Each structure stands twice: as C-alpha cells, then as structure tokens.
Structure 1
C-alpha cells in the first residue's frame, strides 16, 4: 500500500493581509498529479486542513474539490483535525467529505466509538 502523508495545508491562510488560498490550490493540483503518477492508495492529511476556525467559503470549496478529484482517481483520504482546525465544524462537515471520498475525524475516537476507518473508494486495477 502506498500512503501519501500530508499535513498543514492551512486552507484559508491570510498572511500579511494576502489570502494564500489560491497558491495553496496550485500546490493541491500538483499533489493530485503526484497521487496519479505514483500510484498512491491513500492520502492522509494529519492536521491543519484549515488555518482557523472560521474559514472562507473558498477554502472549504477548495478542500471539497480536492477530495472529489481524488475520488475520481479512486483514492480515499483520511483527514485528522489539527490545532488550527475547527474540530466541531469538521465533525459537522464529515458526511459531506465522506461523499467526496474522505473520512474526517475532528477528534480522536476509540474503536468502540467509531474510530476505525474503512476506505470506500478504491483505485481501479
């Protein structure tokens, strides 16, 4: 199994008054190309998908778009909230992200609480 471990996307980042979301979007396009080229089986985002609790609609849309493109490649994703992420918001968005092929965990869960994640999207043979 080939895993691509990523973190710290910080979608919605504003640095010195400049929204960096479009630049991050370009990096995500490159990431999708890498996933396809390298035959990645699972993408893990281990924290800081977003930059702050209240993110822009553009930042949320970019995340959903990325996971939809990833699903088209047949590659599932696992997203784990980081210290910048809005944990409750990620939990609320989890069903939407699941439709896009990404399992989202806003907080750690034990096995009996649903902490085991099974992928649904699979790469075509």
Structure 2
C-alpha cells in the first residue's frame, strides 16, 4: 500500500500550529493517529475553518519539539514530526466549499481521516 493522504483537525485554541509551521517548518503531532512516515496530512484549522496547510510525516517516535507554540501546557507525548510542504491562502478550501465535496465536519474531525476519497481528491487538486 502506498502512502495515505489524511485530513486532520488543528485546534488553534490549544496550540498555534500555524505559527509553528511558519516559523519552524514543522509541528509535532500526537502519535495516536495511524500515520506512517511519508504520509501527507492536510490540516483543517479550527480558527479559520479551512484547510490551510499540507504537511508530510517525516519521522515518528519523536519527542515533542513544538511546546513553545502551545497556549496551554504542552503534553509531552511521543509524536510524529509533520513537515510543512505547502500553505494555501485562497478560499477554495473553506469549510462551506469542502462540504460540497463530502466534508462532514463536526465530530468527524476528532480523528484524522483518509477514507473520504472524493474530499481528498478535491483537496489534492487545489494544492
């Protein structure tokens, strides 16, 4: 099986993921997802309600290295390292547009997902 492409929810109320990605080029992501090195992870940002970043899993079993960007006490879990690949600033990946391509939102965001092929194909076409 090849590398997967995921959509994951970046909760900006807990951590300034955007600032971490822009300033350091990566974020640490808790190692509870089923990511593998090489996978692509698109981040749906909680504050702007859109997919803004394309990242790639470049390492696993890492110590958290983005603690300075957390707005609360950063958990010291074992993490994946997600490297910034691209940033999107248009309006074609806003929540209202994503819904037209199968995005469910709500509680479905609690767990990273790769299974919605229509949605993932649309996101890939924009990046």
- Structure having greater relative contact order (Cα 8 Å, sep ≥ 6): 2
Structure with more of its chain in strand, by fraction: 2
Judging by fraction of residues, say which structure has more helix. Answer: 1
TM-score after normalising by structure 2: 0.30
TM-score scaled to structure 1, two decimals?
0.30
